[in-house]
Amino acid sequence: MEIVCFDMEGTLTPEIWEQIALNTGIDEFNKTTRDIPDYSDLMNFRLDVMKKHNLKLSDIQEASAQLDLLEGAEEFLNNVRQNFQVVILSDTFHEIAKPLMDKMGHPLLLCHNLEVENDEVISYKLRHKQAKKQAITAFQSIGYRCLAAGDSYNDIQMFEVAEKGFFMNAPDKISSSYPDIPSFHDYNDLENAIKENSQFIK
């Protein structure tokens, strides 16, 4: 059996923090790991902006609930599930991802947690600095082949250890820096590439 490990935001769903930027008019929230590759630095930046503008967890949850999957992502996931196990490896947080998990049919989600007091985000708890890589190597240690797809710098760690990695919806400035990693902007093309790299689909 094989597992396909997906990044979530940008790959299958819109960016939650970009929706927060839209809702609040605060442009700083448009920054993602495409702009600040180190996730701890990015989250520290976001928490500072939240504190400055007195934004709460409920504000983030409201933005998440407004989002739908990217066009074609739901059908794509349903197709992939017919032949593979699906896992979401994301730098999002359990506290804000639930509405999108509902729309994806509740795949296994491995991500981080926020520390919250009275609706205020105090801090966050990262599973591991390279949680995506750790998850894939753990799956491999019990005999699974893993394929991976993502859109940003923090997904390179998955590609380093997966049997095959793919960019999906990555900006040219990122994908062009890694020319050996196939890059797609169409879910049908990605689905075909996943099948072509499977050992079990003939």
DSSP assignments along 60-115, one per residue: HHHHHHH--PPTTHHHHHHHHHTTSEEEEEEEEEHHHHHHHHHHHT--EEEEEEEE
- The verdict on residue 201 lying in a domain is no
Determine the pLDDT at residue 21: 95
Task: Report the domain count for the chain.
Answer: 2
Same domain, 89 and 187: yes
- The verdict on residue 118 lying in a domain is no
Same domain, 46 and 107: no
Q: Domain end: 66, 81, 104, which one?
A: 66
Alpha helices, H only, the chain = 16-24, 39-53, 57-66, 73-81, 94-104, 131-141, 156-161, 172-175, 187-196
Same domain, 85 and 183: yes
Whichever domain contains 143, its CATH number is: 3.40.50.1000
Same domain, 101 and 189: yes
Pair of tokens at residue 95: 């506290």
Pair of tokens at residue 93: 């947080």
Q: In the predicted model, is pLDDT for residue 99 greater than 90?
A: yes
- Range(s) of the domain holding residue 45: 16-66
Whether 7 is catalytic is yes
Output DSSP code: residue 138.
H
Same domain, 84 and 166: yes
Distance of CA 56 to the CA centre of its chain: 22
Determine which one of 7, 151, 155, 191 is catalytic: 7
First CA to last CA distance, the chain: 14
Determine the pLDDT at residue 164: 98
Same domain, 98 and 155: yes
Q: What is the pairing mode between strands 2-6 and 108-117?
A: unpaired
- The verdict on residue 166 lying in a domain is yes
Same domain, 41 and 97: no
Q: In the predicted model, is pLDDT for residue 36 greater than 90?
A: no
Q: In the predicted model, is pLDDT for residue 179 greater than 80?
A: yes
User: Residue 39 — very low, low, confident or very high, per pLDDT cuts 50/70/90?
Assistant: confident
- The verdict on residue 119 lying in a domain is no
Same domain, 136 and 50: no
Same domain, 143 and 106: yes
Determine the pLDDT at residue 11: 97
Same domain, 60 and 103: no
- The verdict on residue 46 lying in a domain is yes
- The verdict on residue 120 lying in a domain is no
What whole-number percentage of the chain has pLDDT above 70? 100
Average pLDDT score over the chain: 95
Determine the pLDDT at residue 202: 65
Same domain, 62 and 129: no
State the average pLDDT over residues 121-131.
Answer: 89
Whether 9 is catalytic is yes
Determine the pLDDT at residue 34: 77
Same domain, 87 and 106: yes
- The verdict on residue 29 lying in a domain is yes
Q: Report CA-CA distances (Å) from 26 to 55, 119, 194.
A: 11, 20, 38
| Full-model pTM | 0.92
Determine which one of 9, 15, 91, 191 is catalytic: 9
- The verdict on residue 40 lying in a domain is yes
Nearest-angstrom CA–CA distance, 8 and 11:
5
